[in-house]
Structures are given as C-alpha cells and as structure tokens.
Structure 1
Amino acid sequence: MPKEWTDKQERQYEHIRDSEKDQGASTERAKEVAARTVNKNRAQAGQTRTASRTSVQDKSPQQRGGQRSGRDGPKGPTRDQLYNEARQRNIEGRSTMNKSQLASALKRKKAS
C-alpha cells in the first residue's frame, strides 16, 4: 500500500480486498479493485497530484454501488471512458460518436 494512504484508506483497501476475495475474485483481481476504489476516492477528494477527468467527475464507487457490474440498468464503461480509449487508439470521428458508436468502433479496432 502506498505511503500516501491514510490509516482509514488502508483499512478500506483491506476491507474491499477481503470482500472481493469472499465473492470469488482472484487475489490479484481483489487487490486491483480495492486499490482502484481507494485511489478514485483519493482523486475525488483532491489528494492526488494528477487525476483523470473520469475519476473526478464520475460517481464515487460507493454511490455507483455496482451499477456497471451485472445488474439491470446501465452497464459497461461510461461514454467518457470509451472516448478516452478511442483517443488512445486514434479512432477518427470519435468526438461526434455516442456511447454505442464508440463501443462498436472500439470493438472493430480490436478485431483488426
């Protein structure tokens, strides 16, 4: 755990990691989910030097409550997250695309 984390953040990390492992996630996946959650909370609280726009503007992991993880309702990455990936892959016309168009373009790019 990074030395910048507070004691409370370390406890939160351990709690999330253990919870993920109890739900059947691998040790590595549990560590990743826990670290991402704590780091996103730190970014939203302004405790990091740099933070992505989606980390700061998106709902907190606690507010989201599994909204994108296999229940009815909105699923998958947000439009901003898809847009960032499209930008990294140099997909042309991405700025005018909606969420489903971005997802399709990324899928086509991965297939080729």
Structure 2
Amino acid sequence: MPQGDKSAYTDKQKRQARHIEEGYRKQGVSEGEAETRAWATVNKTDGGGKKSGAGKKKSSTT
C-alpha cells in the first residue's frame, strides 16, 4: 500500500478524520496541515487502519 493511501481505514475512522480536519480548518490551519493533523489524531487514538480482532492486545492495568 503506497504512503498516504487511506483505503485501509474504516468508514468511522475516515469520518472522524474529516470532522477533525474541519475543526482545524475553522481555526485557520492550512488545508494540508489540517489533513495531516487529523490523520495523526486518528492514528494516535485508533492505532492506524483496520485491525482484525484476533491479534489485539488488551491493556494491562497493573
């Protein structure tokens, strides 16, 4: 998958990125920077694109 390809993301993640990007645009951030920040936020919260449930780790609260 080439860098920048968003096909591995769920519809929910794409929707979230769109809303986050709109918020940055309202704050006066340039279009490219707003998109970059939006996807970075989605990646930070969800850990990237689609994931199958089998390999996910549960967070340990020790």
Same-fold call, TM > 0.5? yes
- So what's the TM-score if we normalise by structure 1? 0.37
Query: What SS does structure 2 have at the residue aligned with 1:31?
Result: helix
Distance 2:47 2:39 in 1: 12
Correspondent of 1:19 among 15, 20, 23? 23
Residue 10, structure 1, aligned to residue 11, structure 2 = no
Kindly report the root-mean-square deviation, in angstroms, between the aligned alpha carbons of the 2 structures: 1.7
Greater share of helix: 1
- Number of residue pairs aligned between Structure 1 and Structure 2: 45
Structure 2: state its 5+ residue gaps. Answer: 52-62
Query: What SS does structure 2 have at the residue aligned with 1:35?
Result: helix
| Structure with bigger gyration radius | 1
Bigger RCO of structures 1 and 2 (CA < 8 A, at least 6 apart): 2
- So what's the TM-score if we normalise by structure 2? 0.64
Query: Alignment identity in percent?
Result: 38
Structure 1: state its 5+ residue gaps. Answer: 48-112
